[in-house]
């Protein structure tokens, strides 16, 4: 198996004000997964939670015992970490939520202001070989006798840096509500404030104030550990470490990107709601729908709706987000948007795969046409394969790329009829109203063609890929496979041959130990095999509103960060 770099991310209460802000953490974690990194996410309590717990203890119990108080206050982080784990589950990102005792995070010193001493590195690494993301509640640990202890106010910063050092992390980012350290508060003294591109540990201690826990900075200095202070969704931050501080002018943030959204269905509504929560970065100026008379959820701003595609382009847009489906109107939107010099984000695999011009330009994926959401749902297939193909010689890619088919096959193996399984998938948002593209295998063929173009620069016509779907698979066949300890899966395969690349899509009976057999329900999985014998497995949810929303929003955030760097930023850039 290929070893992946590790990123430690710390989400403080300034970022996680409430449960509604957990999507911020999801996108930052997904950003690291796209780079091929494993992630340890250290989580603080939601804003005000620790103060409320402390007030409760003092009001009801006077002067509580330190150990009991530590146990109470640590519940704030426990709730936030568990909540993040559930939101990641919903978004289709594989993860495991751990408590300090699960990894034997030991401390020394005072119960309420302890110092981290040791952690079970092997246990953490074992978990990270099974899942790409570990969520850990910060701030707390255990004394040698196993009783709870705290690392002091702001102690999640210290947890993150301690774990980054012990695990040999590639990077450690402390994600705050500002894009770095400043000489003075930029909100109060914008004219004279200057941002640190690089800050020495001494300057970080001097200007960090309430932004970074001083104990954490001193720990970093003691162990020669560098880290980054940055804001969520941004492409810059302040690096803190050994050396001479470097300042840069405080420049205004770029204006929000003006978005024209096409489609308000399952995924479109998810994207709409996410963008509405980020007004500093995105402004929805027009929404194209097929039927203006259709009832809409109460949170949809009806004044933004139009059923005329031309109206979408009368709004001085920066980016078109195409989620309307099909190839006619969607094709017009992509062609006209690109011709007008706009950026275009889409999840439309049928359109991308059936248009050679789009596949041929896919080597510059993300230049102005963003379509990473077209393959894999919450599994960053295109980004990961593109990076892997630059590092290794890939011999074969085998994948389960259609969550609808996977769900239907699973249900049929459990005794459900084909049509009944389709109806269930539609009710759960895993299947379209017309599932023909899915069950025929054509959806998987389109995704395979896009994958071949992005990862290997090979343009394949999806209509010429040998393709057999699951529409002829019977429940009896699925149940017979299960009785033999095997699993039926619709497998998309891309293999290197002496003449180039060979592609096919077909149902296959797999042994239950096969990685593709282990992915359940609406999940997707990809197995990448290298010429040197190494193997990489990617997995996660591939269907549903939130997995696809995560991928679409990831493209939009990449675009926003590029605009940020181009228009207003110099200094440290976070890839």
Mean pLDDT value of segment 31-57? 94
| Res. 317 pLDDT band, cuts 50 70 90 | very high
User: How is residue 211 written in tokens?
Assistant: 């932004």
pLDDT in the model for residue 454: 86
Fold of 6-249: Carbamate kinase (3.40.1160)
The partner residues of 249 in beta bridges, in order of sequence, read 194
Mean pLDDT value of segment 317-321? 96
Whether the predicted pLDDT of 245 surpasses 80: yes
Whether the predicted pLDDT of 437 surpasses 80: yes
Does residue 476 carry a catalytic annotation? no
Mean pLDDT value of segment 546-552? 92
Among the CATH numbers 3.20.20.70, 2.60.120.1600, 3.40.1260.10, 3.40.50.720, which is that of 257-373+550-568?
3.40.50.720
Whether the predicted pLDDT of 363 surpasses 60: no
pLDDT in the model for residue 573: 55
Whether the predicted pLDDT of 567 surpasses 50: no
CATH superfamily of 382-541: Dihydrodipicolinate Reductase; domain 2 (3.30.360.10)
| Res. 525 pLDDT band, cuts 50 70 90 | very high
CA distance 48 to 493: 51
Catalytic residue among 176, 349, 447, 541: 447
H or E, element range at 275 = helix 266-276
Residues 338-354: pLDDT tens digits? 999 999 999 999 999 98
Residues 169-201: pLDDT tens digits? 999 999 999 889 999 887 776 678 899 999 999
Residues 460-514: pLDDT tens digits? 999 999 999 999 999 999 999 999 999 999 999 999 998 889 999 999 999 999 9
Angle ∠(389,391,393) on CA atoms, nearest 5: 55
Stretch among 136-140, 332-336, 531-535, 543-547 having the lowest mean pLDDT: 543-547
pLDDT in the model for residue 565: 60
Mean pLDDT value of segment 261-266? 93
pLDDT in the model for residue 568: 41
Q: What percent of the chain shows pLDDT beyond 90?
A: 77
CA distance 268 to 546: 10
Would you list the domain boundaries of the chain? 6-249, 257-373+550-568, 382-541
Residues 148-157: pLDDT tens digits? 999 999 999 9
CA distance 422 to 428: 10
**Residue 140: partners with Cβ closer than 8 Å, 6 or more residues away:** 70, 73, 74, 77, 99, 100, 105, 148, 149, 150, 151, 155
The partner residues of 195 in beta bridges, in order of sequence, read 182, 248
């Amino acid at each position: 198996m290929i070893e992946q770099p590790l990123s430690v991310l710390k989400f403080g209460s300034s970022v996680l004000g409430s449960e509604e802000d957990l999507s911020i953490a999801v996108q930052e974690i997904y950003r690291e997964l796209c780079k091929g990194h494993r992630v340890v996410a250290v989580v603080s309590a939601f804003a005000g939670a620790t103060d409320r717990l402390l007030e409760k203890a003092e009001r009801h119990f006077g002067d509580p015992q330190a150990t009991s108080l530590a146990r109470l206050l640590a519940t704030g982080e426990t709730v936030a970490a568990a909540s993040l784990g559930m939101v990641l589950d919903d978004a289709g990102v594989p993860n495991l939520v751990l408590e300090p005792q699960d990894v034997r995070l030991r401390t020394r010193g005072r119960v309420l202001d302890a110092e981290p001493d040791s952690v079970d590195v092997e246990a953490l690494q074992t978990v990270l070989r099974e899942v790409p993301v570990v969520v850990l509640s910060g701030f707390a640990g255990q004394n040698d006798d196993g009783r709870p202890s705290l690392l002091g106010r702001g102690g999640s910063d210290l947890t993150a840096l301690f774990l980054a050092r012990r695990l040999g992390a590639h990077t450690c980012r402390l994600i705050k509500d500002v894009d770095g350290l400043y000489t003075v508060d930029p909100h109060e003294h914008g004219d004279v404030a200057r941002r640190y591109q690089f800050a020495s540990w001494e300057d970080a201690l001097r200007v960090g104030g309430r932004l970074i826990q001083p104990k954490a900075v001193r720990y970093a200095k003691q162990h020669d550990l560098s880290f980054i202070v940055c804001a969520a969704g941004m492409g810059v931050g302040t690096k803190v470490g050994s050396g001479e501080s470097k300042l840069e002018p405080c420049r205004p943030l770029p204006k929000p990107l003006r978005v024209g959204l096409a489609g308000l269905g399952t995924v479109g509504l998810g994207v709409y709601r996410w963008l509405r929560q980020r007004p500093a970065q995105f402004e929805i100026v027009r929404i194209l729908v097929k039927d203006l008379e259709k009832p809409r959820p109460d949170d949809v701003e009806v004044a933004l709706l139009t059923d005329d595609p031309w109206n979408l382009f009368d709004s001085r847009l920066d980016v078109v987000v195409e989620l309307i489906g099909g190839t006619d109107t969607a094709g017009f939107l992509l062609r006209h948007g690109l011709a007008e010099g706009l950026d275009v984000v889409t999840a439309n695999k049928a359109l991308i795969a059936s248009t050679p011009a789009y596949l041929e330009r896919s080597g510059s994926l993300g230049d102005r046409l963003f379509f990473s959401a077209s393959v894999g749902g919450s599994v960053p297939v295109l980004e990961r394969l593109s990076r892997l193909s630059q590092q290794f010689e890939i011999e074969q890619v085998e994948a389960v790329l259609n969550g609808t088919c996977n769900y239907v096959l699973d249900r049929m193996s459990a005794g459900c009829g084909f049509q009944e399984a389709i109806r269930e998938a539609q009710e759960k948002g895993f299947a379209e109203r017309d599932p023909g593209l899915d069950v025929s295998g054509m959806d998987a063929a389109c995704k395979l063609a896009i994958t071949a173009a992005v990862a290997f620069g090979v343009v394949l016509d999806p209509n010429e890929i040998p393709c057999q779907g699951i529409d002829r698979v019977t429940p009896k066949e699925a149940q017979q496979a299960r009785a033999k300890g095997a699993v039926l899966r619709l497998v998309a395969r891309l293999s290197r041959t002496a003449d180039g690349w060979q592609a096919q899509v077909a149902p296959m009976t797999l042994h239950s130990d096969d990685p593709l057999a282990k992915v359940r329900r609406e999940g997707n999985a990809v197995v990448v095999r290298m010429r040197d014998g190494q193997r990489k497995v990617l997995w996660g949810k591939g269907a549903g509103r939130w997995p696809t929303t995560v991928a679409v929003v990831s493209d939009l955030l990449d675009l926003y960060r590029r605009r940020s760097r181009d228009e207003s930023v110099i200094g440290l850039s976070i890839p």
